Structure formats: C-alpha cells, structure tokens
Structure 1
Amino acid sequence: MSIQESLLYSAEAIEEHYDAGDYIFREDATPQYYYQIVSGEVKLNSYKEDGKEFIQNIFSANACFGESMLILGKPYPVNAIALTKCIILKVARELFLQLLQLHPDLFLDISKSLADNAHDKFVLMPKIASKNAEERLAELMNIMKDSKNQEKFSFEIPHTRQQLASLTGLSLETTIRAIKKMERGEILMIKNGKIFY
C-alpha cells in the first residue's frame, strides 16, 4: 500500500536517506511519523533473548511500514532497519492524521492493507509453529507469490536464505537443508543460486 507522493508532500513530507544497517526506528520508541519507501528495502525485526534475529517483514519501494502503531499511538514492538540504501518519505503523525481526515479513502485503503497483512499472519502462524521446515518455507513463499501467478517456478524469491530463515524462525542450516529437500521434491527450483517457486 502506498500513498501518492504528491499527497505526502502536501502534508509536509520530509525526504530522508538511509544507508544499509541504519535504524529508521527502534523497538519501544513512540511512533512519530508515517514512513513510505521511495527506493530501497527495509526490514522489520526483533531479537529473541538469545540474540537471534526474527524478521517480521521486508518492504520495498512504494510500501509503507509502521502505520498501525502510528495510528494506535502505541510503542513499536519491532525495529525498522534499512537493508539497502533507502530514500524514505516521512510525515509527522499529526499532519498524517489530518491528511487521513481530508482523504477518508486513504484511511480505507490503509485499513484494507492492514487487514490483508493480518490475514497473511494468521495463515502463516500455524505453519511457523509447525516443526516442519518445508511447510514453513512453502507457506511463506505462497504468501509472497502473487495469487494470480500460479505457474510453477515462475516467481523468483526476492530474499536471501538468511532472510528466509529469519522470516520463518529457522536456523540458516535448517533453511538450506529444507530448500535442498524442496528442490529434490520439485517444490521449487534453484537457478544460478536464485530460488524460483
């Protein structure tokens, strides 16, 4: 989901540049801005007690992130970290809420997007709880793959094996073994090191 940049600029949007590894916001911080990616990739993550990273989601150009906490006014339960060089538009909370009042259709679009994300999480959670690594990875890949694009091996997975591991709560070694097993079972295809589902 994204909002037209011209509308964001009408709400006094500020353009910010981040390098890979820069924090955009940190866990437990109070939301102050609406964020929308112009270019680059951002991950939302948290860390388990043992220091292991759990990636909640990865966003790229034209996506917004952190908007549910901004609307609720609750502290962030995750970090937002630039995965690559990023250009991000940010709008102060009060100005963003005024923008939603002026354009109620935007609020409806955000609500639909949040509902869609919640649906995907509900579908993914039982699979994540499963001990079967292949099931976890297949469900994640099903969510990533456009439902209209059902042709086998037509979708290139845009994430690294480490990112897939962090998104599913698996270790890197388990993820690599599961991907090889899925390849042998013709569930996915590996071509030039890239995964096609």
Structure 2
Amino acid sequence: MIDVHLLEQFNADLIEIEKGNTIFDYGSKAQFYYQVKSGEVKMNNVNRDGKEFIQGIFYAGQSFGEPPLFADVAYPAGAEAITDVELYRLPKDIFFELLKQNPDTHLKISEVLASRLYYKAIMASEISSQEPEHRILRLLDYTKKHIHELDSTDVLEVDLTRQQIADLTGLRVETVIRACKALEKKNEIQIKKRKIFR
C-alpha cells in the first residue's frame, strides 16, 4: 500500500505480533496506521453467542483499520494476528503528515478505502438476501480481483479455510462445505486436495 521506503522515511516502527495475539480491540481509540510486512491479520467481531464475523483478512503489503483514523472514532472491530506477523506502525499525526506531503499515496489510500466500501456494500446485500453458493462465489471473485489482482481468466488458489469463508459470509461452516460441493458439481469451482480453485 504505502511504499516501505516512505514508511521508513517517516520513522514507522516495525513491530512483531505472535499468532493469536490482539493488535487492537473493538471499541479502542484509533491511534496508528498499520501495514502488514509479513503474515496475516484479521479484523473481526464476535456476537453475544460467541460467533465470529470476519470483516476482512489482510496480507503482506496491505493496510488495515484506517477509516477510524480519518473519522476520529473508535474501532468498529478488533484486529488479531492469524499467523506471526510483522507490522509497520505509524502514529496518526505522522500518518496524516505523510499523506499531506505525498498526494499520490493519499490517492492510493482513497482508492483502497473505496474498494473496501464497495466490498462491504456487496457483502451486506449478499448476506441479507442471497443463497450460500452465490455469497461464496462473490467472496471468491472479490478476493481474486481485488486482493490478488488476478484477471477473470486466471485461476485463484483460495487461501481461506472453510471456517474463514463461513466467517466472511455469515454462514455456518457446514453450509460452506455443502455449498462448495454443489459449486464443484456445477463446475463453478474445483476442489483438489481440499484446496478450492476458482
């Protein structure tokens, strides 16, 4: 997202978080810009029944948790390390100074945030009205195009577990398993050695 040399120029900290540890909690004040150097991070909410809903999964080169920095509000979800991660961390005031001095970077951040808003709108519509198979295909196609930046003719090897797909689409894992089998029969996806390809 933000060029690493630029982050280093603005003295971003490089921090390490072990797998399973919290980066920030739901409701805490947003004070830093975070960008993944290595590993995977998820932003999630847990309801009263203990069911997790994953807002997003972020990989090397991606940032997360920026909207509350701009809106000056608390985090609407928590962030947790899925694997051991290395993160660049930049205090909010320095992050804004970096954006003021680098309009191209500011535009790139705006484009990414707009893409995420689009995804949220699509998934909100899917969760409220669409069948499980349709929800899963939307998620996979979004991941293919916007996360891995592949063409529609390319084949995506899905790096999400069945549980993560369930948590991202508001489905039960058993429903995801059944829907994936149905999608395979319809030649919408392929399953090889438990891996999904789209």
1:193 aligned to 2:194?
A: yes
Aligned to 1:21, the other structure's residue is in SS state coil
Aligned to 2:152, the other structure's residue is in SS state coil
On the 8 A contact 1:128/1:169 being kept in 2, the answer is yes
On the 8 A contact 1:17/1:88 being kept in 2, the answer is yes
Q: Which residue does the alignment assign to 1:137?
A: 136
Q: Which residue does the alignment assign to 1:66?
A: 65
Q: Deviations over 1:26-45 (max 9, x none)?
A: 10000111000000000010
Task: Please report the RMSD computed on the Cα atoms of aligned residues, expressed in angstroms.
Answer: 1.3
Give identity over the alignment, percent: 38
Q: Which residue does the alignment assign to 1:10?
A: 9
Q: Which residue does the alignment assign to 2:84?
A: 85
On the 8 A contact 1:59/1:65 being kept in 2, the answer is yes
Count residues in correspondence.
195
Q: In the TM superposition, what is the alpha-carbon distance from 1:130 to its structure 2 partner?
A: 2.3
In 2: Cα distance, 1:137 partner to 1:128 partner: 10
1:40 aligned to 2:39?
A: yes
Q: In the TM superposition, what is the alpha-carbon distance from 1:17 to its structure 2 partner?
A: 0.4
Q: What code does the residue aligned with 2:102 have?
A: H
TM-score when scaled to structure 2?
0.94
Q: In the TM superposition, what is the alpha-carbon distance from 1:138 to its structure 2 partner?
A: 0.9
On the 8 A contact 1:130/1:136 being kept in 2, the answer is no
In 2: Cα distance, 1:150 partner to 1:65 partner: 26
In 1: Cα distance, 2:101 partner to 2:130 partner: 48
For structure 1, the 5+ residue unaligned runs are none
Report which stretch shifted further, 131-140 or 72-81. 131-140
For structure 2, the 5+ residue unaligned runs are none
Q: Deviations over 1:167-195 (max 9, x none)?
A: 00101111111111111111110001100
Q: What code does the residue aligned with 1:18 have?
A: I
Report which stretch shifted further, 63-72 or 141-150. 141-150
